[in-house]
A and B are shown apart, each in its own frame.
Chain A
Amino acid sequence: MFAFIISRLLQAIPVLLVVGFISYAMFAFVGDPVSIMLGQDFTEAQRVQLVHQLGLDQPFFVQYAHYMWATLHGEFGISYRLARPVSDLILERLPATIELALTAAVLALLIGVPMGVYTGIRRNGVLARAFMIFSLVGVSLPTFLIGILLILVFAVVLGWLPSFGRGDVVHFSHWSTGFLTISGLRSLVLPAITLGMFQMTLIMRLVRSEMMEVLRSDYVKFARARGLSERVINFGHALKNTLVPVITIVGLQIGGLLGFSIVTETVFQWPGMGLLLVQSIGVADIPVMSAYLMLIALVFVGINLIVDLLYYAVDPRLRVDRRALTGAR
Chain B
Amino acid sequence: MALLEVDRLTVEFPTRRGILRALDAVSFDIEVGEVLGVVGESGAGKSLTGAAIIGLLEPPGRIAGGQVRLDGMRIDNLSRDRMRPIRGRQIGAIFQDPLTTLNPLYAVGHQLVETMQAHLRLSDRDARERAVRWLEEVGIPAARQRIDAYPHEFSGGMRQRVVIALALCAEPRLVIADEPTTALDVSIQAQIITLLKRLAKDHGTSVMLVTHDMGVIAETADRVAVMYAGRICEIGPVRAVVKQPAHPYTEGLMGSIPSLEQRVERLRQIDGAMPRLNAIPRGCAFNPRCPKVFGRCRAERPELLAAGDTRAACWLYDAYSGGRASDV
Contacts and interface: CB of A to CB of B under 8 A. Distances in A.
Interface centre among B80, B97, B103, B118 (most CB of A within 10 A): B103
Interface in A219-237: 219, 221-230, 232, 236-237
Given A218-B95, A221-B56, A316-B152, A227 B101 contact: no
Contacts of A226: 87-88, 92-93, 115, 118, 166-167, 170
Given A218-B95, A219-B103, A225 B88 contact: yes
A227 B152 contact: no
A232 B115 CA distance: 11
A329 interface: no
A320 B153 contact: yes
A200 B115 CA distance: 34
Contacts of A241: 103-105
B170 A227 contact: yes
Contacts of A227: 84-89, 115, 118-119, 170
B100 interface: yes
Contacts, number: 81
Contacts of B150: 316-317, 320
Q: How large is the interface on B (under 10, 10 to 19, 20 to 34, 35 or more residues)?
A: 20 to 34
| B87, B88, B105, B118 — most chain A CB neighbours (10 Å) | B105
A181 interface: no
A222 B102 CA distance: 8
Contact of A225 (B93, B104, B114): B93
Contacts of B102: 219, 222
Contact of B103 (A223, A225, A229, A314): A223
A320 B92 CA distance: 31
Contact of A218 (B97, B105, B167): B97
Interface of A: 217-219, 221-230, 232, 236-237, 240-241, 314-317, 320
Interface of B: 54, 56, 80, 84-89, 92-93, 95, 97, 100-107, 114-115, 118-119, 150, 152-153, 163, 166-167, 170
Given A228-B115, A317-B150, 14 more contacts: A218-B101, A219-B104, A225-B167, A226-B118, A227-B86, A227-B87, A227-B89, A228-B114, A230-B80, A237-B103, A237-B106, A241-B103, A315-B105, A317-B104
CB-CB nearest 7 A-B residue pairs: A227-B88, A225-B93, A227-B87, A218-B100, A316-B150, A222-B101, A226-B88
